[in-house]
Structure 1
Amino acid sequence: MSVELRQRILSGIVMAAVTLAATWVGGLAFRALAALIAVLVYYEWSRMTRLAERDFRGHALGWLSVAAVALNLLIGDEGLGTPIAGGFIVTAILFMLVRGGTAWLPGGIAYASFSGISLAAIRGADQPGFVAMLFVFAVVWATDILAYFVGRRLKGPKLAPRISPGKTWSGAIGGTVSGVAAGCLLSLAFFPALSPRTVVIAFALSVASQAGDLFESFIKRRFGVKDSSHLIPGHGGVMDRVDGLVFAGFAAFLLAIMHAAWSEDGGTSVAAVLFGL
């Protein structure tokens, strides 16, 4: 076994153990994990897009934005997270328009901030939130793993050759089928019946996960980098590991917001949307 493969396996075990332990404990432990992901994602985003070189003052605004969101996550006031992020995103857009900056600044603030906000919102503070977070993990991880193996086995037409030459339609379809199956099995492990809504949402999250993977591949190809960073031995950067999770989290969070807007109580949790509770 090569040193790189050994590092990759050990790093993967540690990351999975820390993530699942924080998910199990919930509360401050998981909010701290979500805040850390947001901070590290912004670090890697700004590093890849060279924000400091393009606009140092805009880069400072970006760090202030993500720091404020991370602090809010640690405090646990979920109702303020989205308004804080939204306010800074609008400020960054105005900053860009007035000073002729780059759109990668508000894009980075949005991507990093909602990475943490959506994960914290999915986990919440109760048992259904724990199950909802496991559901998202199951869909994303099954999609990612099986898309890789099915794609290598069956090969076939490329999914997006200009963005990610290694990805195939066979892998994408295999990953989606696997993601839906994993989400359904996870749901049945906790609930006596499977809601049709759960199947549809598992499909949507699997597709979103693969879109997130392609989005990060686009950024890396756009700026000519192989990995988002070298923070994780054998794996590259944090964005390389959470790109699919970020988009799936975005999708689940957005579905919950839309459902809350349409429902009478206006306070539907992500778990209620996922499982039809």
Structure 2
Amino acid sequence: MARSWEDLSARVISGLAMVAIGLAVIWAGGHVLRLAFALVAAGMVWELVRLLAPEAHKSALAMAGAAGLALLGALYLPVMLALPLLLAPAMAGIAWVPRHRVLYLSYTALIIVAAFGMVQLREVSGMGWMLWLVLVVVATDVAGYFAGRAIGGPKFWPRVSPKKTWSGTVAGWVAAALVGVVFMAEVGPGLIGLSVAVAMASQMGDMAESAMKRRVGAKDSSSLIPGHGGLLDRFDGMLGGAVFLLLIGPWAGLPVGVN
């Protein structure tokens, strides 16, 4: 049992630091928010290229820079003009990334579109909606981690992610539902169901990243964050949840959209 908690100290310290920085960035909004998301997106693309083609160091830096600049530029343009910029770094990877091009193409597009969508969520819908999304994803991850370690039981998908259990997965849904209860005053009880759906989407994002790492034989996307691995390891669930909300929000009549 002791071994299963051996990374807890580093994970908690790093997690608290990320929460503090994240809350400050969300509260600040504006240029600070846009620059922060551009840097994080660039970091994730850098990790992605190094995962898929470890020998392509120069390509990793070039594509990371292109992704960050494209996202930052798109955030200052009208949305119709911004759309090509969001997809350009993914298309450029066909020439720059020597292997696993389909993975690079799809995952880079996911990273940049999700980051763009989260900035829009903060700027168009307000801080409350963004806090709700972040808390749903964080609660899903934290509850899954602790329930999975404490309860254990049948594995969710052992060939892809051998540590994840059904107990942790269901605990994540329960935690997300509780976040929905806290935020449902102005929206109604339907937010509980949406919170659980976003939790499921975040878990799918986590599974997708785990499957990608399995395919290339990597344990973590990098070692940037003690106890958590890399940016992709930490924000994979946020990517899934954000893209799901972008797709389903307008259809469900939620006050989310783009400038």
Q: Which residue, 16, 21, 26 being the options, matches 1:23?
A: 26
Once the 2 structures are TM-superposed, how far is the Cα of residue 105 of structure 1 from its aligned partner? 3.1
Once the 2 structures are TM-superposed, how far is the Cα of residue 21 of structure 1 from its aligned partner? 0.8
- Is the Cα contact below 8 Å between 2:74 and 2:83 reproduced in 1? no
- Is the Cα contact below 8 Å between 1:62 and 1:109 reproduced in 2? no
Closer, same or farther in 2 for the Cα pair 1:187/1:227, shift >3 Å?
same
Report the equivalent of 1:81: 82
Instruction: Kindly tell me the number of residue pairs found equivalent between the two proteins.
Output: 253
- CA distance in 1 between counterparts of 2:6 and 2:163 reads 24
Closer, same or farther in 2 for the Cα pair 1:150/1:270, shift >3 Å?
same
Once the 2 structures are TM-superposed, how far is the Cα of residue 129 of structure 1 from its aligned partner? 2.1
- Is the Cα contact below 8 Å between 1:164 and 1:218 reproduced in 2? yes
Amino acid in structure 2 at the alignment position of 1:158 = K
Report the equivalent of 1:70: 71
- Is the Cα contact below 8 Å between 1:35 and 1:73 reproduced in 2? no
Unaligned segments of structure 2, at least 5 residues: none
Q: Does 1:148 align with 2:145?
A: yes
Report the equivalent of 1:164: 161
Once the 2 structures are TM-superposed, how far is the Cα of residue 64 of structure 1 from its aligned partner? 6.0
- Is the Cα contact below 8 Å between 1:82 and 1:117 reproduced in 2? no
Closer, same or farther in 2 for the Cα pair 1:79/1:235, shift >3 Å?
same
- CA distance in 2 between counterparts of 1:220 and 1:100 reads 14
Q: Give me the TM-score of the superposition, normalised by structure 1.
A: 0.78
Name the SS of the counterpart of 1:194 in structure 2: coil
Closer, same or farther in 2 for the Cα pair 1:48/1:24, shift >3 Å?
same
Q: Does 1:114 align with 2:144?
A: no
Amino acid in structure 1 at the alignment position of 2:204 = A
1:142-182 CA-to-partner distances (Å, cap 9, x unmatched) read 11111122222332221101001111112111211211221
- Is the Cα contact below 8 Å between 1:136 and 1:249 reproduced in 2? yes
- CA distance in 2 between counterparts of 1:10 and 1:166 reads 21
Q: Does 1:194 align with 2:180?
A: no
- Is the Cα contact below 8 Å between 1:31 and 1:73 reproduced in 2? no
- CA distance in 2 between counterparts of 1:3 and 1:217 reads 21
Once the 2 structures are TM-superposed, how far is the Cα of residue 29 of structure 1 from its aligned partner? 1.4
Report the equivalent of 2:233: 240
Considering only CA atoms, is the larger Rg found in Structure 1 or Structure 2?
1
- CA distance in 1 between counterparts of 2:93 and 2:128 reads 36
- CA distance in 2 between counterparts of 1:3 and 1:151 reads 14
Report the equivalent of 1:209: 202
Report the equivalent of 1:275: none
- Is the Cα contact below 8 Å between 2:173 and 2:199 reproduced in 1? yes
Deviates more, 1:174-183 or 1:77-86: 77-86
- Is the Cα contact below 8 Å between 2:25 and 2:33 reproduced in 1? yes
Report the equivalent of 1:33: 36
Once the 2 structures are TM-superposed, how far is the Cα of residue 8 of structure 1 from its aligned partner? 3.6
- CA distance in 1 between counterparts of 2:74 and 2:21 reads 18
Unaligned segments of structure 1, at least 5 residues: 273-277
Amino acid in structure 2 at the alignment position of 1:132 = W
Please tell me the root mean square deviation across aligned C-alpha atoms, in Å.
Answer: 3.2
Q: Which residue, 214, 227, 242 being the options, matches 1:221?
A: 214
Q: Give me the TM-score of the superposition, normalised by structure 2.
A: 0.83
- CA distance in 2 between counterparts of 1:63 and 1:235 reads 21
- CA distance in 2 between counterparts of 1:176 and 1:226 reads 25
Amino acid in structure 1 at the alignment position of 2:182 = L
